[in-house]
Structures are given as structure tokens and as C-alpha cells.
Amino acid sequence: MTSTEALRHRGLFVFYYALVVLSAAGLLLHFTPHVTRHPLLVPGMVLLLMLMADAKPVPLPSGGYATASGLFDLPSLVVLGPVYTAWLSLASTLVNEGLIQRRPAIRVIHNLAIFTLTCFAAAWGFALAGGRVGTMAFPRDLPALLACGAAYFATNSVLVSTVIGLTSGPSPWRVWQSNFQRGIFHHLSFIALGSLVVVVYFYVGPWALVLFGVPFLVARHSFGLYMEIKSDLKDFVRALTEVLEEIDPYTRHHSVRVSQYAVRLARGLRLSEREVEEVEYAALVHDLGKIGPQHQHILQKPGTLSHEEQRTLRAHPAAGADIVARVRALRRAAEIVRSHHERPDGLGYPYGLKTCDVPVGARILNVADAFDAMTSDRPYRRALSLEAALFELERGACTQFDGEVVACLTRLHGQGRFALLPSPTSEDLLLLRIQPLRARG
């Protein structure tokens, strides 16, 4: 992100923040004096369950946190109405985020505001679909319950994605894809379970809230495990790249830089966040096939490679893909790794495929890999300038490199959105090679 973009987003964030906070405050001030009072038993039970639901937030992939509070927000909205639910959510948030987790006040206030807006939006969805607070007839009110859950999910996910997109992430739409679209069934399962709590409540009474304590704990635990697995997968992929970097100092951090370039290109080509993630994983492990001892002297050889050495080196995409494909979640990334040295003219390797047969992720990785190789010091030459690297890519467009990907890189560079990432010099790398020898000596 350029300084101009950061400044624009800062201004948008201030506008967004003020709008959200003032809107939430206005709704509470307007509707609270007219709320119908309820016995303390049900609000007290709901508050206790909300405190439990918010006590262990789950980190989301693109930033922010998710809780299972929707399981109890929905019954509270139908039984108590939006004002009670909003105030109970505010109390739970203040205790968990303000007192226990000690989050910054600006974040706590923002979360208080979006919870309030989410409650009122869900209640209005319920009312517009024919629902009435305090009553429930099943299946007559099923459409109202669905409208309530849909409004709840849409409002909360959009507001969370917007604030992350304006502060730390990519665009709000891409944040939504990463945080909510991929795990949409997990998020909606809490709302579905909350709808079931509503139905049971009107047949059993307040103790229905207690009956769903165990399913709630299981659902929250499952959602947390799902998010942990996603996070652990990326950590595992990064660990694989560090193994190769220890073997070949000249590619130190090469895979990380290539992954950042590839992500920029994938988003520039408007790929979905799922495809962007696959390209990122593939870029991080694209050289894993060079881990064998037969590659070590080839990687550090300053002169021309022999035919046998070239044949050995050309086997690394397939070898790396075979390793990566052993992890089920990385099988799509493995196909990108396998094809990332194919060329549009069919002169690439290992299979000599042409553009139509090469995954778009592999075409992106091919350009990102070549760009970083050209702009980094190698044993056989110094790094090219940014302008020289762009010239070489444009000269090889539609023959060695995919023309659309090269055009995307050129466009992003012209817009100031493809800055060169720093890489170690030959002198730095020489020190990295000498220091271990001195330690052993």
C-alpha cells in the first residue's frame, strides 16, 4: 500500500468509525426509554451465556476475532427484543474485552457499536418478515427466523470486514472472502443452532437455554479447531521453506518474497481469495524439490550447467509437487508447483505444456519467481535493476511468460503497487556461508 492509499484509508476509517459509533449510540438513546421490562431471570441467563461465548474469541485468517455469541443473540432478539440484546452484548463485551482481555478502548468501542447495529438489523429483518418479539409459532415464523439470522450474519460480517479492510487488510471484499466465505457454514451453524434454541424456548421455557450449553461448547470448540488448522497449515508451509533456505543461502527468503509478489499479482488479476491463498502456499514451497543433495552444488555453481545438471534441475518442480501433494489441503497448490516452469510457447518443463493447459496460479508463480530471481543477487550474476527486470519480462511476454500476468505486473508497478522487496546482497550471503564454517572450525 502506498502512502497515498494509506492516507485515503485513514480518512475513510475515521468517517466509518464515527458513522458506526454515532449510529449505534443514536439507536440506543432513541429506543431504550420505550423498551418493555422483562423479569430478570431470562436476561440474567442470557448475559451469563454471552459471557461464556465471548470468553474465548477465535482469531480469523485476515484479522479480527469471531465468537459463538450468535447462538444466544438470536434467541435473545426474539424473546427480549433488540434493545435488551444490545445492552446485554455491551455488558458482555465490556467485561471480556475491556476488563479481562484489556483491548484498546478504540477497538472495544467499535465492537460495542457493531454489536448494537447487528442486533437492530437482525431485529428489523425479523419484523419485516412477519415476526413478533415475544412470540413464536413454528413453522409459520420460520421465514422470520431465517431473515433474522441472515440479517445478523450479513451485518456483522460486513462491518467486521470493512474495519479490517480499512486498517490492516486488503479490500473489505477480500477480507470477507477470507474470514467468512470459506467458513460460512461454520458461522451459519451458530445461527441455525440459535434458531433451534428459539423454538425450544417457546415450548420448554427459559431452561431451554441451559439445555443447549453442551452443543454450544462443542460447536465453539469445533470452530476453534477449524481456524487453528488453517493457521497451522500456513505455519507448516513456512517451516518447509526454512528447510530449503538453510541448504541454499542464495535463495534465503526467496520463497517468501516470491509469495508476496504472487499474492499481489493474483489479486491484481482479481482471483478469489481461495485462489490467492493457493498461489501463496504454492509460492512458499515452489522450490521444495531442490532439497535433495544432488541440487546443492548445482544451486551454488557460478558457471554454466552441464546437460546432466540441467536435467537434474528440471526435475525439481515434479519432485516438489510430489512432496507437497502428500498434504491433502495442499493438493491444489501442488499442481501449481508442478507447472510453475511451463511456458506459453510449450518450451517449459517438466511436460512442455502450453498456456491453456497450465493453471493460472502456475503462470503467476512463473512470473513472480522470475522477477525475484532477476532482482536478487545470484552466484552467477548481480541483481538486475527494476527497470531491466521489467524489460526482460515484457520481452518474454507470450513466449516465456504469460502475457496477461506480465501486463498485470506492469500495470501494478505503474500504479505504485508493486514495490521491490529488499533481498540480501552477495556480500551478505557470503557472510552467511562463512559464519557457519567459522563456527565449525
In this structure, whether the domain defined by 3-231 belongs to CATH 1.10.10.60 is answered with: no
Cβ atoms of 262 and 368 within 8 Å: the answer is: yes
Which residue's C-alpha cell is 483491548? 103
All CATH 1.10.3210.10 domain ranges of the chain, comma separated, are 248-440
Cβ atoms of 78 and 126 within 8 Å: the answer is: yes
Query: CA-based Rg of the chain, rounded to a whole angstrom?
Result: 27
All CATH 1.10.1760.20 domain ranges of the chain, comma separated, are 3-231
Cβ atoms of 248 and 296 within 8 Å: the answer is: yes
**Nearest to residue 209, comparing CAs of 92, 94, 72?**
72
Copy the grid coordinates of residue 372.
525475484
pLDDT of residue 358: 94
Which residue's C-alpha cell is 493447459? 357
CA distance 201 to 207: 7
pLDDT of residue 141: 83
CA distance 8 to 155: 24
- Dihedral sign from CA coordinates of 416, 341, 432, 238: positive
How many residues make up the chain in this entry? 441
User: What type of residue sits at position 334?
Assistant: A
User: In tens digits, what is the pLDDT along the chain, a chain of 441 residues?
Assistant: 444 444 457 788 899 999 999 999 999 999 999 888 877 888 888 888 788 777 777 777 666 676 766 677 888 888 889 999 999 999 998 998 888 888 899 999 999 999 999 999 999 999 999 988 888 877 788 888 889 988 998 999 999 999 988 888 788 888 888 888 876 776 677 677 777 778 787 777 777 777 776 777 677 777 777 777 877 787 888 887 777 666 665 565 888 899 999 999 999 999 999 999 999 999 999 988 877 666 566 555 566 666 776 776 778 889 889 989 998 889 999 999 999 999 999 999 899 998 889 999 999 999 999 999 999 876 667 888 899 999 999 999 999 999 999 999 999 999 998 989 887 665 555 555 545 444 444
pLDDT of residue 429: 56
Copy the grid coordinates of residue 113.
457499536
pLDDT of residue 437: 41
Three-state DSSP string of the chain: CCHHHHHHHHHHHHHHHHHHHHHHHHHHHHHHHHCCCCCCHHHHHHHHHHHHHHCCCEECCCCCEECCCHHHHHHHHHHCCHHHHHHHHHHHHHHHHHHHCCCCHHHHHHHHHHHHHHHHHHHHHHHHCCCCCCCCCCCCCHHHHHHHHHHHHHHHHHHHHHHHHHHCCCCHHHHHHHHHHCCHHHHHHHHHHHHHHHHHHHHHCCCHHHHCHHHHHHHHHHHHHHHHHHHHHHHHHHHHHHHHHHHCHHHCCHHHHHHHHHHHHHHHCCCCHHHHHHHHHHHHCCCHHHHCHHHHHHHCCCCCCCHHHHHHHCCHHHHHHHHHCCCHHHHHHHHHHHHCCCCCCCCCCCCCCCHHHCCHHHHHHHHHHHHHHHCCCECCECCCCHHHHHHHHHHCECCCECHHHHHHHHHHHHCCCCCCCCCCCHHHHHHHHHHHHHHHC
φ/ψ of residue 364, rounded to 5: -65, -45
Cβ atoms of 179 and 165 within 8 Å: the answer is: no
β-strand partners of 397: 401
Cβ atoms of 245 and 293 within 8 Å: the answer is: no
CA distance 68 to 221: 10
User: What type of residue sits at position 341?
Assistant: H
In this structure, whether the domain defined by 248-440 belongs to CATH 1.10.3210.10 is answered with: yes
